[in-house]
A = this chain, B = another copy of it.
Amino acid sequence: MVQFVHPSRDDITLEGVLAALSDPMRLRIVKSMVGQPGCMSCTEAAPCPDMAKSTLSNHFRILREAGLIRTEKKGVEHRNVVRQDDMEARFPGLLKTILGFCDDPRRSNG
């Protein structure tokens, strides 16, 4: 049984967030998720279809442990959402500022 561990809001660190977003792939994953109304499966949120499953899984784990996303098991899929409220409470404006400077991956090749 896979259980996902998410840090509580106050345990989210600036360095963790920056490290998580310093990878181009993870930055694009978060960007694509923020632009989406609901939650997304790992495969849906992946901006790069030819990436190894294990690598993708690892990226989601890093985003999760940094506190950027929340993952819940729903059927056979894992549904992911960006923790925008927690991020805004912890680091007001940070996520919006950063994401505002990177291109939306679904606009270019969606």
Contact = CB atoms under 8 A, between A and B. Distances in A.
Interface of A: 14-15, 18-19, 21-24, 27, 91, 93-94, 97-98, 101-102
A31 to B, nearest CB: 11
A71 B6 CA distance: 40
Number of copies: 2
A6 to B, nearest CB: 20
A18 B22 contact: yes
Contact of A93 (B19, B22, B24, B97): B97
Contacts of A101: 14, 91, 94
A27 B27 CA distance: 19
A24 to B, nearest CB: 5
